[in-house]
């Protein structure tokens, strides 16, 4: 047998248990740590997980201990999930109240007794406030804080009177998106909307760049959208951290189209809500806001229509009364004018009748005198014209005889001249006609010795050839 002294393992574990109980008995501690390796057994209501402490910068684990929560601890975890909207799961940073114990079989074990909900919420709120300070500092030209409200370039844009064309950024399988579309498509007023979907991931802080890229896609589409709607259904508080990121807040704040959010966060506002033009709590509320906006415009138009009807009736009534008064005045004035003019016309009628009788009598006398003169004058005029016509006839006859005699003398002169110029007469008088190349020539300038010419006499035609050319006549030169 071994000579070394020994003890049983149960004795050793019992000593450890006694030592730990003497130190940690009735002691509890508030511990800050991260949750890992979490498992939940729903039937028993037990939580098994590890609490770990990580290095601040390197991220390595510097401490780790197994932890269990049951009974009152499990109840406190359930309350934590209800208050924060955050499931108790891996990789969350918590402040928990624990007791240290030791079990001879299970070993060292820490039991969760309580969990501080305000610590987890405070950590998220602290990160959110730091992001807001960074936004107002780095983006001061389009983000500023006024009281408790943030003034951004986006929330200063005017909404169009009627919102019809929408760009919706959401998850394609989101129940919130289905609620949004159902509310718009089945509105009680029959409004229609043209919706372009820009689906993306809307959960996970690291996915914020994808959301920003969808905003960029909306801008690059060059479609004149009335508004951009960012929606997401409900979830845990940490599921909304994507909407508290700096990059998304900055993109929403300076986006040139009004942004409406319906993120489904019932308890707090996200940074995206603060930077957007209009924030609503749920996708359904976002749809109801758009419908209410359009309804307000329609009611305004209807109000104006009603006002125009009432006002037109008032104006019509006032003008009708004025017209009635003018009608009575016109009738009274017209009757007075007609009576006065009737008397004037009666007076004028008597005057015209008396004057016209005098004028007619005077003109009748003038016509009788003129008719006597006219009846005598035509006889004298006709006699003078007949005498003139006889004189003209005599003159025409004398002039005609003289004209005919003169023309006959001219004809006789031309007839004698034509007879003298007759070629046959000329040939009888000893003249001859000379032809060269079938044409009569009157000059020998074009003829040369050897040319053949035809000489026509009174009784014969001679074909001759020129043997010699003598110029017998030359024009006189300058003296």
pLDDT in tens, 268-295: 688 899 999 999 988 999 999 999 999 9
Cite the residue boundaries of each domain of the chain with CATH code 2.40.50.140: 9-115
| Fold held by 9-115 | OB fold (Dihydrolipoamide Acetyltransferase, E2P) (2.40.50)
- Tell me the β-bridge partners of 447: none
pLDDT tens figures, 88-147: 888 778 889 988 888 777 778 889 999 987 777 666 677 778 888 889 999 999 999 898
pLDDT tens figures, 447-479: 888 888 888 887 888 888 888 888 765 554 443
Check if the beta carbon of residue 251 is closer than 8 Å to that of residue 236. Answer: no
Check if the beta carbon of residue 225 is closer than 8 Å to that of residue 198. Answer: no
Report the pLDDT value the prediction gives residue 478, as an integer from 0 to 100.
43
Is beta strand 61-69 parallel, antiparallel or unpaired with respect to 46-54? antiparallel
Higher pLDDT, 312 or 415: 312
Cite the residue boundaries of each domain of the chain with CATH code 3.40.50.280: 125-296
| Fold held by 125-296 | Rossmann fold (3.40.50)
As a whole number, the mean pLDDT across the chain is: 84
In our burial notation (b when 16+ CB lie closer than 10 A, e otherwise), range 435-472 reads eeeeeeeeebeeeeeeeebeebeeeeeeeeeeeeeeee
Phi-psi region of 474 (alpha: psi -120 to 50; beta: other; left: phi over 0): beta
As a whole number, mean pLDDT of residues 439-449 equals 81
The neighbour count for residue 287, using CB atoms within 10 Å, is 26
Check if the beta carbon of residue 160 is closer than 8 Å to that of residue 294. Answer: no
pLDDT tens figures, 350-407: 888 888 888 888 888 888 888 777 776 777 777 788 888 888 888 888 887 888 888 8
Check if the beta carbon of residue 167 is closer than 8 Å to that of residue 198. Answer: yes
Q: Of 20, 35, 49, which Cα lies nearest the Cα of 111?
A: 49
The most confident of 228-232, 398-402, 422-426, by mean pLDDT: 228-232
Report the pLDDT value the prediction gives residue 239, as an integer from 0 to 100.
62
The share of the chain scoring above pLDDT 90, in percent, equals 28
The confidence band for 188, taking pLDDT boundaries of 50, 70 and 90, is: very high
Count Cβ atoms within 10 A of the Cβ of residue 476 and give its class: 0-12 exposed, 13-18 middle, 19 or more buried.
exposed
The confidence band for 58, taking pLDDT boundaries of 50, 70 and 90, is: low
Check if the beta carbon of residue 48 is closer than 8 Å to that of residue 70. Answer: no
The confidence band for 241, taking pLDDT boundaries of 50, 70 and 90, is: confident
pLDDT tens figures, 10-41: 777 778 777 777 777 778 889 988 888 899 99
pLDDT tens figures, 133-180: 889 999 999 999 898 889 999 999 999 999 999 999 998 777 889 999
Report the pLDDT value the prediction gives residue 169, as an integer from 0 to 100.
93
């Amino acid at each position: 047998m071994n000579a070394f002294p020994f003890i049983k393992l149960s004795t050793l574990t019992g000593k450890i248990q006694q030592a730990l109980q003497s130190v940690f008995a009735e002691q509890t501690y508030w511990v800050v740590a991260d949750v890992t390796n979490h498992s939940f057994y729903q039937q028993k209501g037990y939580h098994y997980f590890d609490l770990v402490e990580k290095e601040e910068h390197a991220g390595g684990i510097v401490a780790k201990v197994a932890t269990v929560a049951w009974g009152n601890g499990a109840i406190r975890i359930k309350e934590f999930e209800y208050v924060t909207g955050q499931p108790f799961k891996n990789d969350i940073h918590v402040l928990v109240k624990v007791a240290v114990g030791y079990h001879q079989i299970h070993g060292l074990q820490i039991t969760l007794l309580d969990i501080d909900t305000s610590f987890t919420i405070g950590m998220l709120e602290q990160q959110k406030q730091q992001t807001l300070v960074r936004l107002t500092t780095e983006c001061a030209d389009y983000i500023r804080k006024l009281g408790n409200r943030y003034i951004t370039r986006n929330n200063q844009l005017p909404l169009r009177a009627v919102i019809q064309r929408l760009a919706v950024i959401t998850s394609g399988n989101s129940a919130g998106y289905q609620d949004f579309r159902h509310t718009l498509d089945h509105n009680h007023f029959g409004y229609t909307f043209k919706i372009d979907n820009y689906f993306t991931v809307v959960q996970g802080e690291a996915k914020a760049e994808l959301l920003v890229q969808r905003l960029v896609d909306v801008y690059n589409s060059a479609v004149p959208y009335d508004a951009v709607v960012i929606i997401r259904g409900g979830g845990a508080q940490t599921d909304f951290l994507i909407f508290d990121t700096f990059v998304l807040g900055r993109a929403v704040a300076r986006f040139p189209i009004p942004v409406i959010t319906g993120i489904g966060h019932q308890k707090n506002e996200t940074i995206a809500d603060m930077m957007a033009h209009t924030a609503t709590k749920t996708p359904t509320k976002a749809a109801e806001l758009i419908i209410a906006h359009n309804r307000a415009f329609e009611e305004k138009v209807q109000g104006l229509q009603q006002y125009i009807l009432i006002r037109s009736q008032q104006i019509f009534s006032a003008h009708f009364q004025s017209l009635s008064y003018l009608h009575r005045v016109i009738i009274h004035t017209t009757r007075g004018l007609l009576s006065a003019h009737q008397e004037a016309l009666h007076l004028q009628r008597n005057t015209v009748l008396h004057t016209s009788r005098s004028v007619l009598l005077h003109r009748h006398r003038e016509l009788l005198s003129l008719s006597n003169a006219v009846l005598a004058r035509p006889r004298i005029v006709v006699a003078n014209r007949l005498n003139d016509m006889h004189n003209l006839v005599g003159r025409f006859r004398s002039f005609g005889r003289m004209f005919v005699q003169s023309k006959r003398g001219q004809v006789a002169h031309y007839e004698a001249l034509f007879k003298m110029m007759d070629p046959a007469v000329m040939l009888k008088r000893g003249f001859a006609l000379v032809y060269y190349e079938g044409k009569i020539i009157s000059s020998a300038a074009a003829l040369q010795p050897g040319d053949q010419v035809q000489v026509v006499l009174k009784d014969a035609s001679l074909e001759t050839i020129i043997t010699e050319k003598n110029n017998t006549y030359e024009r006189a030169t300058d003296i």
